[in-house]
Chains A and B, each alone.
Chain A
């Protein structure tokens, strides 16, 4: 459970400290082991895969902000390797829990993982993904795209000049594509045609990048870009969040 409050609600006999203390012990032991390894070659291994934890999503009323805040604390303070998010599958008729038949929050779980990746691999700060003003992640679009739409003043980026760290923040360009672009532009000025063939999600990225040959002159508003991108995707989760009722 992500917070103390919901732990008290769901499992009154468990105490949060009892969970945190072993984590702290593991953290120091892993760090000590790592230091020791630098000195002695034959130091026995200690928890070589690191520590991880799992949070149940959707059983208690936490917002995405609270969940990601906890995850961020775990990564920064506890040196965790991974935090896993599992959508709650209703199994009991207890009135503290969502009723049986409530759909598993798969889309939310997916968005949380995407946000998690942004924090761990893309050097995003927690405040850039969720804030007290919008504590929930957007269900329709991924957190990277919604960050980009909130920060349109940074775009479009020139693919031949933009910094690597900024390049991988472009929706549709991942770490590998950003590396590929940075390596390739040493040889030649890249055009949009090159970028298209490289295998990035050009249908998203085209609103956020340009090169000297082609310049996207239109000044789109964030909601317009959102509309364009959404009209092009067909999410497998659509039935889960479509406001429209289905007949069958």
Chain B
């Protein structure tokens, strides 16, 4: 058993896949660098992320897989589930050694896992395009906190970049402690050093633009008006908008 360590990026994982083939490693186990404490009996080697190698793996997969299945790989990777790297490696290995169309063979547990995981992440991405509530701060920055189940920030950026191209905005993932900042030209990854124990909701109030409260009230009012009390269906409501997302939704405060 050989332990392969990669840097935690998708390119890093693809590079690891390349090197497993390059050095003909027989029983590889892939870990994110820093997560595993190393195997006691076995070699452990670190992979240097290499754009050329990862591109070659991706191109090869593009030849083998349908467009839809190729598009599932990155979301499945972003799920960050334990051991997803090894599922992805087994999936890639299975696809490369088999004929065309094999991505539909859901009787293979890895194929099924990738299919279902990518679907979960896609669902979360869709929710996060809807459950982002921006708040305008004094320096005219639209600021929003989210706490998605999976690391979907890289997936939702394009949506907000094209939709709010004329505004500066920042979406911050409170769980993974990083955010995406758009300065009307490009989207960048940022980290913010909050002092520990900070309460986002209360501190944000002091940064608000003067009109922010008025808009928040309007928004809440709008929701209370469009609600049809006779057709209340709490189960369906929770199905579309689970309680764990309410924390950062203005209309639910």
- List A residues at the B interface (Cβ < 8 Å): 87, 89, 104, 106, 180, 183-184, 186-188, 190, 194, 197-199, 236
A184 with B104, Cβ < 8 A, contacts A197-B112, A198-B112, A236-B235 known: yes
Q: Which B residues lie at the A interface, using CB under 8 A?
A: 101-102, 104-107, 109, 112, 116, 228, 230-231, 233, 235-236
Closest to B102 in A: A187
Q: Are B106 and A180 in contact (CB under 8 A)?
A: yes
| A183–B104 CB distance below 8 A | yes
B107, A106: Cβ atoms under 8 Å? no
Given contacts A89-B230, A236-B233, whether A184 and B105 have CB atoms under 8 Å apart is yes
Which residues does chain A contribute within 8 Å of B107, judged by CB atoms? 184, 187-188, 190, 194
Instruction: Find out whether the CB atom of B233 lies under 8 angstroms from the CB atom of A187.
Output: no
B104 nearest CB neighbor, chain A only: A183
A245 to B130, CA, bound (A): 41
14 sample A-B contacts, Cβ–Cβ < 8 Å, listed by A number: A89-B230, A89-B231, A106-B231, A106-B233, A183-B105, A184-B104, A184-B107, A186-B105, A187-B104, A188-B105, A197-B109, A197-B112, A198-B106, A236-B233
**Residue from the list A87, A104, A194 in contact with B106, Cβ < 8 A:** A194
* A residues near B116, Cβ cutoff 8 Å: 199
**Closest Cβ neighbor of B99 among chain A residues:** A187
| Across-interface contacts of B112 in A (CB, < 8 A) | 197-198
Roughly how many angstroms separate A104 CA and B228 CA in the complex, as a whole number?
A: 12
> What is the bound-complex CA distance between A180 and B102, given in angstroms?
12
Closest 6 interchain pairs by CB? A183-B104, A187-B105, A236-B235, A184-B106, A89-B230, A194-B107
Chain A hits for B106, CB < 8 A: 180, 183-184, 194, 197-198
Assembled-state Cα–Cα distance A87/B232 (Å)? 13
Cα A106 to Cα B234 with chains together (Å)? 13
Per the bound structure, the CA–CA distance linking A218 and B36 in Å amounts to 51
Provide the residues of chain B in CB contact with A187, threshold 8 Å.
Answer: 102, 104-105, 107
- Complex CA gap A104/B104 in Å reads 43
Residues in B neighbouring A190, C-beta threshold 8 A: 107
For B101, B109, B228, B230, the residue with the greatest tally of chain A CB atoms inside 10 Å of its CB is: B230
Most buried by A among B105, B106, B109, B230: B106
Contact B230 A104 (CB under 8 A): yes
Measured between beta carbons, the chain B residues less than 8 angstroms from A198 are: 106, 112
Question: Nearest residue in A to B113 (C-beta to C-beta)?
Answer: A197
Cβ–Cβ contact A104 & B233, under 8 A = no
- CB contacts (< 8 Å) of A89 on chain B: these are 228, 230-231
| A12–B105 CA distance with the chains assembled, in angstroms | 60
Q: How far is A198 from B236 in the complex, measured between Cα atoms in Å? A: 24
A109 closest partner in B (C-beta): B231
Q: Which of A106, A180, A184 has the most CB of B within 10 A?
A: A184
- A226 CB to nearest chain B CB (Å): 23
Q: Kindly list 7 other residue pairs between chains A and B, CB separation below 8 angstroms, not including A197-B112, A199-B116.
A: A89-B230, A184-B107, A186-B101, A187-B102, A187-B104, A198-B106, A198-B112
Point out the residues of chain B lying under 8 angstroms from A188, CB to CB.
105, 107
Closest to A182 in B: B104
Of all chain A residues, which has the CB nearest B229?
A89
